[in-house]
Amino acid sequence: MRLILLGPPGVGKGTQASAIVKKYNIPHISTGDIFRSNIKEGTELGKKAKEYMDKGLLVPDELVVSIVQDRLTKEDCVQGFLLDGFPRTINQAEALDKELTKMGIKLDKVVNIDADKEILIERAIGRRICKTCGSSYHIKFNPPKVENLCDIDNGELFQRDDDIEETVATRIEVYLNQTQPLIDYYKEKGIILNVDGTRPIDEVFETIVKALGDK
Ligand code: AP5
Ligand code: ZN
């Protein structure tokens, strides 16, 4: 299964991605996660990406595309993959198409999750992430059993630097201007699957699995 998860910031892409990759046994390729781990390790890429991410802006295409191209040629992508947060511009989508054509493969579906701005802001601001394992929680919608501690490994939970209201609002604007046009791009290719992201986490997942099939 070769999938893209499309949708505005905070809609639940990462949450659904974790469940989808487990179900279909495919690697989860999140460009946001790749940048955050580079920031943590203090790499040159991380330093450059942080300048844009902290402002809620997109990292320039030339920094993103080559990372994904390299990742897709790794052995674990042979049986499929889930791209989460990539592509985010028409330019990125065209570069991906070229790469896939070169590899002789095609996308199966683009899962487009959507919700209203108020919901996105509430979800992003309330998100908390485990310092140890990266699991994602929400203070209201998906709280850990013990406040501020991860259920899996007791790791401390933290808030992402770009999850403050002002930056979330910028990220939503950037999404509307630069990423939303991709919905039509993939609609024309006949592979878009629209999913109502306002439903609870389990229901959103059920809808996706029903549409993608059980295997
Ligand atoms: P990225 O990491 O991709 O962030 P994003 O797209 O803004 O998405 P989020 O991670 O904020 O949200 P999500 O949809 O994954 O929601 P989640 O499941 O966590 O990108 C960050 C930055 O990196 C960008 O701003 C940009 O600078 C850069 N970048 C990355 N890729 C790039 C690219 N290709 N090109 C250029 N720049 C790039 O859920 C959010 C919260 O809601 C959680 O707390 C969760 O528990 C809760 N929740 C989830 N689903 C539900 C539900 N159904 N009901 C109730 N609560 C829910
Ligand atoms: Zn944890």
Note whether 88 and 178 are within 8 A (CB).
yes
Q: How far, in Å, CA of 20 to CA of 10, rounded?
A: 17
* CA–centroid distance, residue 9 to ligand 1 (Å): 4
What pLDDT shows up at residue 3? 98
* CA–centroid distance, residue 162 to ligand 1 (Å): 10
**Which regions in the chain score pLDDT beneath 70?**
215
Q: Does the annotation count 160 as an active-site position?
A: yes
CA distances from 55 to 106, 136, 164, 165 (A): 34, 22, 10, 12
- What ipTM goes with this model? 0.97
In this structure, which residue's CA is closest to atom 39 in ligand 1?
12
Which amino acid makes up residue 198? T
What letter does residue 55 receive in the DSSP assignment?
Answer: T
What pLDDT shows up at residue 215? 65
Q: Has 68 been labeled as part of a binding site?
A: no
What pLDDT shows up at residue 113? 98
Considering only CA atoms, give the Rg of the chain.
17
Q: Does the annotation count 88 as an active-site position?
A: yes
What are the b/e assignments for 20-59, b being 16+ CB within 10 Å? bbeebebbbbbbbebbbebbeeeeebbebbbebbeebbbb
> Taking the complete model, does pTM exceed 0.80, yes or no?
yes
* CA–centroid distance, residue 176 to ligand 1 (Å): 14
Note whether 127 and 136 are within 8 A (CB).
yes
Closest CA to 56 of 178, 146, 151, 138: 178
Pocket test for ligand 1, best of 21, 31, 128 (most atoms within 8 A of CB): 31
In this structure, which residue's CA is closest to atom 23 in ligand 1?
32
- Say which of 2, 50, 88, 109 is annotated catalytic: 88
What pLDDT shows up at residue 136? 92
Q: Does the annotation count 71 as an active-site position?
A: no
